[in-house]
A and B are shown apart, each in its own frame.
Chain A
Amino acid sequence: MSTSADNELVARVVSGQDTAAFGELVRRHQSHVRNFLRKLSGDHTLADDLAQDCFIHAWEKLQTYSGRGSFIGWLLKVAYTTFLQSKRKSKRYAEIIHSAGHHADIESGSDAPANDEFTDVEKFLAVLTEEERAIMVMSYACGLSHREIGEATDLPVGTVKSVIFRGKEKIRNSFDIKDYNHG
């Protein structure tokens, strides 16, 4: 995915509010963003809604993209922020419902998949904390460099490296990953 082509499209959007150029940016990166959010949230419908919100936020903040790092790195930062904001909101919502005494309704209506419905990656991700999950997905699924992950998560590169190391260790300790097939 060419960064110069991305930068050209960004320039067109920022200079003239070109929605066609923005549409092209969405087409180029929707798969990465949606896959990232699917892995992070574990819910495909929610992830797609969040991906739409992420692109709307990106449209509004596009002038803050300096063009120094990769565009996908910047976009995943927006996606991660959107995910965290949504999580905070839903947590607040759950607290309100809980205090209103409807907790039991939520639990009975939960559509969480049965354990055997989880994919291998979902099982791996389940043993990680939210931050570790985001960083591992950015690194191994999206192919971002440690510097790009640092920029996306506002963490120093050293911290990113240690989070990846810790995440790998957790996966290694919980599963024998050599037993899993490639692909």
Chain B
Amino acid sequence: MTSKIIIMAERIKDAEDRLLESLFASPPLADDGFSVRVVRRVHRRLWLRRLTLPTAAIIGGAVAIKPLSGLLALASSLSSLIPMDTINMASNSIPQFQTIVLGAILLAVCLVSTRFLED
């Protein structure tokens, strides 16, 4: 109710207000391809955004390939430190032990990538 009264009070304009309105009024501007230019810029931005992630992934992958291969070599050398008995015991007690470990790694990678994509 109060807001309606305020809006009505705003609508009550004096002669000076009406004169200012007519002085400030401008003829509507023709579009003349303005909206087309804006939409084109929006399209360009959409494409850039779509290309940014794969490009960054490729560049990042290319940069990271050497240190990653070094890390893998280190990990495999470390795995030789684990006694074979322990690995055999784990494989015997849980038959799909390797599959579970691989699944867990893939799940972690997926979660991290999803978070990255959301960001």
Contact residues of A with B, CB < 8 Å?
17, 19, 22-23, 26-27, 30-31, 34-35, 38-39, 48, 51-52, 55-56, 59, 120-121, 124, 136-137, 140-141, 143, 145-147, 157, 168, 171-172, 177-178, 180, 182-183
| A31-B28, A34-B29 given; A22·B39 CB < 8 A | yes
In-complex Cβ contact of A141 among B17, B19, B25 (8 A): B25
Main SS at interface, chain B: helix
Interface code B21-39, partner A: CB below 8 Å = 1, 0 otherwise? 1111110110100111111
B39/A23 in contact, CB under 8 A = yes
In-complex Cβ contact of B16 among A27, A39, A168 (8 A): A168
A56/B41 in contact, CB under 8 A = yes
Q: Complex Cα distance A48/B45, Å?
A: 19
Cβ of B7 within 8 Å of any chain A Cβ, yes or no, is yes
What's the A-B contact tally at a CB cutoff of 8 Å? 87
13 pairs from A and B in contact (CB 8 Å cutoff): A17-B46, A19-B39, A22-B42, A23-B39, A30-B31, A30-B34, A30-B35, A31-B31, A35-B26, A124-B23, A141-B26, A171-B20, A180-B23
Q: Kindly list chain A residues whose C-beta atoms are within 8 Å of the C-beta of B46.
A: 17, 19
Q: Kindly list chain A residues whose C-beta atoms are within 8 Å of the C-beta of B26.
A: 35, 38-39, 121, 141
Q: Kindly list chain B residues whose C-beta atoms are within 8 Å of the C-beta of A59.
A: 42, 45
Cβ of B119 within 8 Å of any chain A Cβ, yes or no, is no
Of all chain A residues, which has the CB nearest B39?
A23
For the complex of A and B, 9 pairs with smallest distance between CB atoms: A140-B24, A26-B35, A141-B24, A182-B22, A23-B39, A31-B29, A31-B28, A27-B35, A55-B38
A56/B23 in contact, CB under 8 A = no
